[in-house]
Amino acid sequence: MLIWFCGTFSPNEVHARILDLTSSFCQRLVDYLESVHAGDFLLKVKEEVESEVTAAETLDDYCNPTETLPEPPLRICHKVLVDTCNDCLKVTSWWSRFHFSVNDLLLKSNVHKCSMNCNQDGSENKAHLYRGCLDNIWGKCKACFLHPIFKQTEIDSDTGHIDVKKTESSLNTFSYLMTYLLRCNTDVTSLHLGSAIKGVLLYVSNYVTKPALKTHVIFETIHSMFLSHSEMIGGTESWNNKACKLMTKIVNSLSAKMEMGSPMACMYLLSNPDHYTNYRFVPFYWQSYVHKTRNACELKQNNVSRTDQPCT
């Protein structure tokens, strides 16, 4: 999702104000950014979270948070006796469960592991469809992990770039609230510079209108399926069964790589497949419209300046 703030400064104005590190605007912006997204676990470090989750998973009443719905918050009690009030104790207990659920979700969904497609001995897991983030001539992570750590939010006085406080190198920035509600991997970032805004808009547009797979991607997928299922191909089953299983795996792999956009998925789920309509849309030429509008405005301004009359 993309959230726009109405009535705020333009990216150029924000950039100019950020460069003044002593201004109240700069401090208020930092406080806001730290309040809406973070880059570390909630009130704990990674080792503590791993220990707690491992212990909890051995209990009979443990539920994987990625497979359950979020528990709604309780109504806040306004009584004075907090320690003896049952309603207040329930609210405190809910917050404790909230903290544990968020940390459990971050550990399961957000922590990046460069060795996810490797066996315990470090060899490549051929059953994995993707070769992993280290599959390059440099042997470096394609996702640029591990990320730099910042004990406090830092602002570059020359470029205006903001590095928000972040204490976990294996996590991207995210929102605790969005993690609790969506219960999956999420990334949250602030788009206060023009280049970042354009980049995200282009990414979202390309993702929604995702084109067909490239030819080299299709052949790479087929090749990887043959390599990962060589034992099945050389097995004792009939060639008809082998061909059927192999084609099914190739089609499933290609479908996963297409990453169909949510608008298209919703369209098919609502029984609205591709179809023709009886509507004809009129082409709208934006550049011609802007040019004509500017000429009309300039002409009006010239007339007002000649007659010395206020513009209405």
Question: pLDDT-derived band of residue 131, with 50, 70 and 90 as boundaries?
Answer: low
Residues 271-283 have pLDDT tens digits of: 776 666 677 778 8
Greater confidence (5 vs 126) lies with 5
pLDDT at 54: 92
DSSP letters along 202-253, please?
HHHHHHHT--PPPHHHHHHHHHHHHHHTHHHHTSSS-HHHHHHHHHHHHHHH
Q: Is 306's pLDDT higher than 90?
A: no
* Tens-digit pLDDT profile for residues 198-243: 777 777 777 666 666 777 878 888 888 888 888 777 888 888 888 8
Query: What six digits make up the tokens of 57?
Result: 């998973």
Lowest mean pLDDT among 70-74, 82-86, 157-161, 302-306: 302-306
Contact 174, 37 (CB under 8 A): yes
Q: What is the pLDDT of residue 121?
A: 57
pLDDT recorded at residue 120: 53
Q: Which of 143, 134, 193 is nearest to 169 (CA)?
A: 143
Q: Per the structure block, which two tokens stand in for 189?
A: 């970032």
CA angle in degrees (0–180, nearest 5) for 28-31-34: 150
Exposed (0-12), middle (13-18) or buried (19+): which is 76, by Cβ within 10 Å?
A: exposed
Report d(CA 58, CA 62) in Å as an integer: 8
For residue 65, the 8-state DSSP code is G
Could you say which DSSP state residue 106 is in?
A: I
Find the farthest-apart pair of alpha carbons in the chain and give their distance in angstroms, rounded: 96
How big, in percent rounded to 5, are the helix, strand and coil portions of the chain?
50, 5, 50
For 133-184, the pLDDT digits (tens) are 776 677 777 777 778 888 888 888 777 778 888 888 888 889 999 999 999 8
pLDDT of residue 52: 92
pTM of the complete model: 0.60
Task: List, as one string, the DSSP characters of 169-184.
Answer: TT---B-HHHHHHH-S
What is residue 311's predicted lDDT score, i.e. its pLDDT? Answer: 45
